[in-house]
């Protein structure tokens, strides 16, 4: 009977003991695992990091590069580096997402500039998240929401607009040379600030493009080439000045160099007046030799006729043709650092004019639009 009573008391104490533990646990409000998770969350997002915008645009234009200045006030000292993330953006990404934060003179204050570019009206600026790490462990983070930005497209019907929106725009230098009998090649050296020179394009010119671009934003430098009609006296275009908030007109005068350098973009020798008269002269001398042979019946005139005829045929023969590999690059000069004029996407047959320093001078094109350039010998099939 005592044993039965002892077992009964043991069961009752176990039941009430578990209820007591449950009551005691519920006094903390959350289970232990949840408490640990919450403590980590509170630690990561604790108020030792404050974010604010120093400057933010209210209106932007299509293809415009613009900047967002951010300040971070960090009251903690035990962190190794700062990471920046851009969340929930749409059709809008930073151009310099890995830009380093710069510490200012004020204690605990860091600043950064991020550049963006909008290609279409349906965009959404991203939320900015800044994270602090210690020994590759996240110790704190904070987010700051994007601000509202309006969008518009300018100069849709302006035939002179070059798509460039800049704080400053300068033509450093320009040079033009006769390229074919009907065309000239113009090289323009451009510098700009807070611009989108990568979108530079002049309407109405079929052959044009960027040969060199140096992008150390906010400063940009571009070498641009254009193939224009040889009678054209100037190139006129517009860009939008964000400082003055108006379109600025740029005029590039076309002054052809008097001398045509044989190693550069000179005319096709077969089409030059000198070559033409040379061929005519050889033909006339050959014909005279034949007439003299018939009249005088002397073999010296026959030999002279044969020699002059052979020379005439050699002069009149077209250049031999060669085939270039796909993706071959055509240069203006036969040098490694020369400006790139064009790049052929497929295999193409061109005329082989002469060879120099590991380069081949070629003529390519169709009809009256023939161009002179240089390719590396290794690009010839």
Expressed as residue numbers, the domain containing 190 is 161-253
Please indicate, yes or no, if residue 309 is contained in any of the structural domains: yes
Q: What are phi and psi of 304, to 5 degrees?
A: -65, -40
DSSP for residue 198? G
Give the residue-averaged pLDDT of 224-241: 93
- Binned at pLDDT 50, 70 and 90, residue 361 comes out as confident
Q: What is the pLDDT of residue 337?
A: 62
Please indicate, yes or no, if residue 15 is contained in any of the structural domains: no
Please indicate, yes or no, if residue 18 is contained in any of the structural domains: no
Residue with the bigger pLDDT between 196 and 33: it is 196
Please indicate, yes or no, if residue 34 is contained in any of the structural domains: no
Q: What is the pLDDT of residue 274?
A: 53
DSSP string of 74-140? E------EEEEEEES-BS--BS-TTPPPEE-SSTTEEEEEEEEE--SSS-BPPEEEEEEEETTEEEE
Q: What is the pLDDT of residue 191?
A: 94
Q: Quick one: 125 and 69 in the same domain?
A: yes
DSSP string of 247-307? EEEEEEE--B-SS--TTSS---GGGSHHHHHHHHHHHHHHHHHHHHHHHH--HHHHHHHHH
CATH code, domain carrying 362: 2.30.30.40
For the chain, percent of residues with pLDDT exceeding 90: 36
Please indicate, yes or no, if residue 7 is contained in any of the structural domains: no
pTM of the model: 0.57
pLDDT digits (tens, 9 = 90+) for 157-170: 889 999 999 999 99
Q: Quick one: 73 and 55 in the same domain?
A: yes
Q: Quick one: 146 and 229 in the same domain?
A: no
Q: Quick one: 73 and 143 in the same domain?
A: yes
Residue with the bigger pLDDT between 3 and 314: it is 314
Reduced to 3 states (helix: H, G, I; strand: E, B; else coil), residue 40 is helix
Given 298, 317, 336, the domain boundary residue is 317
Please indicate, yes or no, if residue 261 is contained in any of the structural domains: no
Residue with the bigger pLDDT between 206 and 237: it is 237
pLDDT digits (tens, 9 = 90+) for 85-109: 999 988 887 889 999 999 988 888 9
CATH code, domain carrying 85: 2.60.40.10
Q: What is the pLDDT of residue 38?
A: 34
Please indicate, yes or no, if residue 212 is contained in any of the structural domains: yes
Q: Quick one: 280 and 224 in the same domain?
A: no
Q: What is the pLDDT of residue 100?
A: 93
Give the residue-averaged pLDDT of 49-76: 93
Q: Quick one: 145 and 170 in the same domain?
A: no
Given 135, 152, 169, the domain boundary residue is 152
CA 201/CA 195 separation, integer angstroms: 13
Tell the residue number behind the tokens 């400082």, with chain if given: 243
Mean of the per-residue pLDDT values of the chain: 78
Residue 50, C-beta contacts closer than 8 angstroms, at least 6 positions apart = 72, 73, 74, 75, 142
Assess whether pLDDT exceeds 80 at residue 272.
Answer: no
CA 96/CA 110 separation, integer angstroms: 17
Assess whether pLDDT exceeds 60 at residue 10.
Answer: no
Assess whether pLDDT exceeds 50 at residue 16.
Answer: no
CA 143/CA 72 separation, integer angstroms: 11
Q: Quick one: 72 and 147 in the same domain?
A: yes
Assess whether pLDDT exceeds 60 at residue 34.
Answer: no
- Binned at pLDDT 50, 70 and 90, residue 29 comes out as very low
For the chain, percent of residues with pLDDT exceeding 70: 77
Assess whether pLDDT exceeds 90 at residue 181.
Answer: no
Q: Quick one: 332 and 303 in the same domain?
A: no
Q: Quick one: 166 and 148 in the same domain?
A: no
Q: Quick one: 54 and 138 in the same domain?
A: yes
Q: What is the pLDDT of residue 46?
A: 52
How many domains does the structure of the chain reveal?
Answer: 4
Start-to-end CA distance of the chain, whole Å, equals 110
Residue with the bigger pLDDT between 355 and 151: it is 151
Long-range CB contacts for residues 167-174, cutoff 8 Å, separation at least 24: 167/192, 167/193, 167/194, 167/195, 167/218, 167/241, 167/242, 167/243, 168/192, 168/193, 168/194, 168/195, 168/241, 168/243, 169/195, 169/239, 169/241, 169/248, 169/250, 171/250, 171/252, 174/252, 174/253
Reduced to 3 states (helix: H, G, I; strand: E, B; else coil), residue 187 is strand
Reduced to 3 states (helix: H, G, I; strand: E, B; else coil), residue 220 is strand
Please indicate, yes or no, if residue 12 is contained in any of the structural domains: no
Residues in the chain: 381
77: left (phi over 0), alpha (psi -120 to 50) or beta: alpha
Give the residue-averaged pLDDT of 206-229: 87
Q: Quick one: 120 and 81 in the same domain?
A: yes
């Amino acid at each position: 009977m005592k044993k039965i009573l002892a077992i009964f008391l043991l069961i009752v104490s176990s039941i009430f003991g578990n209820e007591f533990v449950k009551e005691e646990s519920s006094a903390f409000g959350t289970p232990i695992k949840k408490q640990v998770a919450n403590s980590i969350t509170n630690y990561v997002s604790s108020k030792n990091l404050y974010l604010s915008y120093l400057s933010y645009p209210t209106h932007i234009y299509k293809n415009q590069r613009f900047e967002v200045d951010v300040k971070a006030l960090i009251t903690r000292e035990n962190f190794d580096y700062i990471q920046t993330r851009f969340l929930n953006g749409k059709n809008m990404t930073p151009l310099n997402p890995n830009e380093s934060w710069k510490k200012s003179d004020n204690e605990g204050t860091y600043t950064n500039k991020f550049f963006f570019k909008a290609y279409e009206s349906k965009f959404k600026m991203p939320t900015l998240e800044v994270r602090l790490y210690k020994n590759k462990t996240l110790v704190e983070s904070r987010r700051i929401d994007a601000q509202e930005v309006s969008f518009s497209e300018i100069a849709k019907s302006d035939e002179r607009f070059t798509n460039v929106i800049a704080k400053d725009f300068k033509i450093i230098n320009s040079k033009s040379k006769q390229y074919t009998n009907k065309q000239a090649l113009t090289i323009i050296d451009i510098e700009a600030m807070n611009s989108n020179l990568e979108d530079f394009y002049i309407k109405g010119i079929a052959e044009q493009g960027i040969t060199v671009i140096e992008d150390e934003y906010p400063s940009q430098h571009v070498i641009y080439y254009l193939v224009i009609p040889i009678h054209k006296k100037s190139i006129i275009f517009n860009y939008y000045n964000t400082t003055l908030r108006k379109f600025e007109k740029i005029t590039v005068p076309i002054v052809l160099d008097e001398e045509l350098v044989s190693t550069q973009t000179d005319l096709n020798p077969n089409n030059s007046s000198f070559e033409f008269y040379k061929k005519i002269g050889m033909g006339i001398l050959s014909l005279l030799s034949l007439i003299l042979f018939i009249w005088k019946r002397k073999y010296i005139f026959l030999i002279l006729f044969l020699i002059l005829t052979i020379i005439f045929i050699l002069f009149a023969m077209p250049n031999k043709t060669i085939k270039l590999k796909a993706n071959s690059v055509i240069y203006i000069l036969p040098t490694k650092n020369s400006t790139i004029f064009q790049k052929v996407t497929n295999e193409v047959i061109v005329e082989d004019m002469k060879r120099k320093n590991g380069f081949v001078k070629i003529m390519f094109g169709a009809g009256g639009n023939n161009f002179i350039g240089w390719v590396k010998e290794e690009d010839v099939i």
